[in-house]
Every structure is written in structure tokens, then in C-alpha cells.
Amino acid sequence: MASPSTSRPGRSLAILGLILVAMVTAMAITGTWTPRLGLDLRGGTSVTLQPKASGGGKVTDTAINEAVKIIRNRVNSLGVAESEVTKQGTGSGQTITVSVPGASGRQVLNLVGSTAELRFRQVLAEAPAVNQTVPTPVPSGSPSASPGAAPAATPAATPATPAATPATTPSTNGRALPEQLRRATATPTASTPAATSAPAAAPSAAAPSPAASAPAPVASAPVAPVAPVGSTLTPELAAQLQALDCTKLRDAAGGSTDDPKKPLVTCDQEGRTKYALAAAEVVGTDVKSASAGLPQSGTVGSWEVLLDFTDSGTKKFGALTQRVVSLPPPTNQVAIVLDGQVVSAPSINQAILTGNAQITGSFTKQQATDLANVLKYGALPLAFEKGEAQSISPTLGKDQLRAGLLAGAIGLVLVMLYLLVYYRGLGLVAIASLLVAGSATYCSVVLLGKTIGFALTLAGVAGLIVSVGITADSFIVYFERLRDEVRDGKSLRVAVETGWKRAWRTILTADFVSFLAAAVLYVLAVGGVKGFAFTLGLTTIIDVVVVFLFTHPVVSLLARTSFFGNGHPLSGLDPRRLGARTRPAAASRGTRPSRPTAAGQEA
């Protein structure tokens, strides 16, 4: 394997310069100049989750451990944020404590505290979230009443078959209340005028006689021939929907009452609409994977969650969509329910048999990513009572950070002094390489904190300090190979290339071992040790880049100067001080020495 080409050291230096300029430019664009600090250095937010068994079960150690694993996976999916997920206590009194650094902790805690119970349910009825009074049209004999009511009644009369769509009553916010719901919740005294006054409210909405148009929706409401039990709107569900108050439901844990085998009356997450839903036909365990992405329709600023079902989930979802596709609104909608609340309730225009679906709901990128993460890693095996989030102070503080940075600075100064004393002028190259590596490391830590949420802890600072020695090792390997070539009597320009050919494999091997150790430690460790492994691996990669794109090209350029090329005593490459082997001058010129004759004269 040939060594990397260094015939153009200026090109290597230009590439490294472009990389550094790009990193600084990215920092300027994002307006971020300092790294994110971890929980032990800047504090954060902590919340205690109290598990509770659902369905009469018990809180077991197995369920607690599974919940800790799922919550930790959710947190790690957000990036290297140095969060802590621990369980405390024993037996049924165990709790889970989640601590997240920084001001964004509350958002993450809301994410990990979600049970992520996903259901797909057919919509039986929907209504505005604001509770209505008795939804009976007001009879009016004036000619102006009909035009005023026509706009609200027209959407309900859009389908071709009048019997397929219940007559509607205008509501205060522009949404219509189904006639079937109105008849189920109205008192007997109020139902009689409603039936007689319906034709007066919208005389042009139905062709048959007014007397027969009111009860027709209830008598001929379409029902799928293979509809499962619980897929029709009963008077009891209608009464529950009418009595539902979404302002109170938003303060309750919706997931605790979401039984997939029973119909559900609930609200959407914004508290704007309430729904009566059929029993769940597809549940979260039927989802194989989830991811966030932009819709193909190109809606600006709106993200969606893409779902991929299992084989059994594909069959269930296909049967559900195939059954509701021909039904009238709102029964042709399938509500996506997460933790007892409706995320979205899209209309089904065609049967979906491919095993893929989308959850839409005007999500931002962060909201779609969070929802995909909780669905990807599965539902928590327990329900939780979320305690109040509390701000926690730094466990170490600025004094400890200053002490760690001071220790790193002292170590760096000592290394620089040693390099100057031992390598003299060549030590300046090593010091410059350390400064370049330090600059690249700082920029990387800042940018990673902005992009993937990497938070620098004291353990991470320790990893950066250890990396100083690893980086200096690479320079020493190269310089010693270079000095060995000079000892063999080679000129410096030749020694630079031959020494590099022997050194670069050793440098790569040593750095690969360090990176492998950091990678294994990162995968197996948790908490602060993970931060140590991350910074160690990061600086190892930067060390390789600096040695190849800075150290060797700079030495190649210096070898062309008289100070280093002629082996000045202060250059660190003086052949006499290194004990170089000298060759006879004649031999070095390619001539042979003369032989004396018998008379003592030269031949």
C-alpha cells in the first residue's frame, strides 16, 4: 500500500484551511460560539415518574427495567445529551428519575413520560369541543331565515344520497353537529319541534317531503356489512360525546382510560374537536418502524410521521381502510389516537393495502421526530404519574470546571516545553499542530452541541485532556522516524518522505486502537463515561486529520529552507548532534581513491 501523496503540501494545507473556515462559518451562521455544558456543569431539569399498574396488574422489576430501557433509548435518540435515567427504591415503591441538562429539559421530559399507546379507530361522530346547548334549530317563518341557514346546511347535503348524510345543525364555531347525535341527546320535548322545523331551516337541501327527511338519516345510516362489534354510534356514546368537556380532559391522563377493545370518547390534542370512536382495530404493536419526514405533497413547514406496519398490522389496517372508504363523513375517517388523545383523523379516500401510513397534524420537525421516536421504541409497559419538573443546580459547578481546564492547560504547557527542549525548532511544528488540533476540536464540540445535542461534562473534558497525549504521540512517531533517516546520512528532503512512508502506518494503527477502545466504551457505558468515550473518539479522528493535512505538509515545506535543510543546531535535525553516519567525500562524489606505485608516486 502506497503512502498518501505529499508532493503538493500546499494543497493539503489549503484543504485543512477550508475545513476550519467552514466550521467557523457554520458557528457564525448558527450564532453559537460556546459548547453546551452537561448536567454536572450547568444543571438542568429533573422529574420523578411514579409507575402505576393498569388493568389490576402489579408493578414488577421486569416492567420497571423495561421502562428504564425504553426511556433511555428515547433520550439517546435525541443525541448525546448526557441525560441520566435511573430507578430508585425497591418493590412496588420504585420510581424512575429522569434528569436532562439545560432549559430544553421539559420538552424531553414530556417526551419520555409519554406512554406511547397507539390506536387506530374508526370515527363514529365528531363535534366541536365547545359544549353546545340543546342543538335544536330555531323555527323561523321569515323568508330571510332560509338563506342564512343554507351555508351551514350545504356541506352536510353534499353527498349524492340524502339518506347517507345526517341533517346538521349550525354550531357557534362553524362546525356541524350530526343529526343522529342531536336526536340521541335531545329531550323528548325538544325532539318534536326539531323534526318539524328541519325543513324550514334548509328547504333546498333535500328533494323528498320535509316530513320524511328528518328521521331518514337514522333509519338508513350506512353500516359496513362486516363491521366489527362497537363500530356504530349508540345513544350512550352520543350522550357521552355531548357531555364531554375537552378543557378538563386536557388536564387528565388520556391513556389511562384508552381500552383498545372498547369504544372511546375523547378530544384531539389541541382541544378543538371531540370524537366518538369505535374499538381499536390496529394498535401500536402492529407498527414495525416509524420515521419523520416531509410530505410528498410539498406542504411548506409541515412534517409527518411515516409508519411501516408488520405483516399482521398490514392486514388489519388494510381491512379497516377497505371497510370505511365507501362510508359517508365522518365515518370514513380513521382516527390516530396516541395516549388516549386524537393526533389526527384523516379521511380515507382509498384502501391502504401496502402496509404504510402517514400521521399528519401540522407537525414541526421537532414534534414529528419526537413522535416517531416514541413510536419506534415502543410503548412503556407501565402508566406513570408524572411528578412536577424541578430545576436542579450543577452538581460540580464552575469551580470544578475551572480546575479541570487549569489541569488541562498545565498539562498542555508541560508537553509543549518538553517538545521544545527535545526537538528544538522541530518542536514548534508540534506545538502548531497541537493548536490546530485544539481549534478543530473546539469547533467540533460547539457544532455537535448545536446539531445533535452533545453536552460537554467534566468526564468529556477529561477525554479532551487525555487526547493531548494521544495527539503528541503521533508527532513523536513521525519525528523519530525522520531523525532516524537523518542518522542514516540522508538529506532532510529525502528523509522527510522516507520517514513518512515508515511512520504513517504506525500512526494509523495506534489511532485505530484508540478509536476502537473509545467506540466500545461508548456502546457499553452510560452517563458520564459515555461523554468521555465520545470526546476521546472525536479527538482521535481529528488527530489523524491534523497529522496528514498539517504536520507532514509543514515539515515538507520547512525541509526546503536552509535553516532546517542544512541541519542548523537549533533546528532539531543537526546530523552531528543526531550522530549521523558520514561517508568519505570521494565516495560520496562517485570517484575511486588513487593507488600508489612502487616508486611512491601516484599512478
Question: pLDDT at position 456, please?
Answer: 83
Place of cell 469547533: 443
Q: pLDDT band for 29, please (50, 70, 90 cuts).
A: very high
Question: Can you tell me the distance from the alpha carbon of 129 to that of 246, in angstroms, rounded to the nearest whole number?
Answer: 6
Q: What is the mean pLDDT of residues 459-468?
A: 86
Task: Find all residues with CB under 8 Å of 79, minimum gap 6, and list them.
Answer: 451, 452, 453, 454
Q: Is 79 a residue whose pLDDT tops 60?
A: no
Question: pLDDT at position 506, please?
Answer: 92
Q: Cα torsion at 404, 408, 414, 417 (round to 10°)?
A: -140
Q: Is 300 a residue whose pLDDT tops 90?
A: no
Burial 140-173 (b: 16+ CB within 10 A, else e): eeeeebbeebeebbeebbeeeebbbbbbbbbeee
The grid coordinates listed for 161 are 344520497
Q: pLDDT band for 445, please (50, 70, 90 cuts).
A: very high
Pick the residue with more confidence: 445 or 491?
A: 445
Question: Can you tell me the distance from the alpha carbon of 424 to that of 338, in angstroms, rounded to the nearest whole number?
Answer: 67
Q: Is 468 a residue whose pLDDT tops 70?
A: yes
- What percentage of the chain carries pLDDT values higher than 90? 18
Are 156 and 210 in contact, with CB atoms under 8 Å apart? no
0.95 exceeded by pTM:
no
Secondary structure of 23-43 in the HEC alphabet?
HHHHHHHHCCCCCCECHHHHC
Query: In whole angstroms, how large is the CA radius of gyration of the chain?
Result: 37
3-state secondary structure of 125: strand
Q: Is 69 a residue whose pLDDT tops 90?
A: no
Q: pLDDT band for 21, please (50, 70, 90 cuts).
A: very high
Let me know how many helices (H) and strands (E) the chain has, helices first: 22, 16
Q: Is 86 a residue whose pLDDT tops 70?
A: yes
Nearest in space to 197 (alpha carbons), one of 135, 241, 245: 135
Quickly list H helices, 488-551.
492-524, 528-546
Strand ranges in 138-246 using DSSP code E only, listed in sequence order? 168-170, 176-178
Q: Is 598 a residue whose pLDDT tops 50?
A: no
Give the model confidence (pLDDT) of 376-404 as tens digits.
766 666 677 766 667 766 665 667 777 87
Q: Is 100 a residue whose pLDDT tops 80?
A: no
Question: pLDDT at position 184, please?
Answer: 38
Question: Can you tell me the distance from the alpha carbon of 175 to that of 444, in angstroms, rounded to the nearest whole number?
Answer: 53
Question: pLDDT at position 92, please?
Answer: 62
Question: pLDDT at position 554, please?
Answer: 92
Give the model confidence (pLDDT) of 540-573 as tens digits.
999 999 999 999 999 999 988 888 888 888 888 8
Out of 35-49, 206-220, 279-293, pick the least confident. Answer: 206-220
Give the model confidence (pLDDT) of 472-531 as tens digits.
888 889 999 998 888 888 888 888 888 898 899 999 999 999 999 999 988 887 666 888
Question: pLDDT at position 50, please?
Answer: 78
Q: Is 227 a residue whose pLDDT tops 90?
A: no
Q: How high does pLDDT run on average in the chain?
A: 73
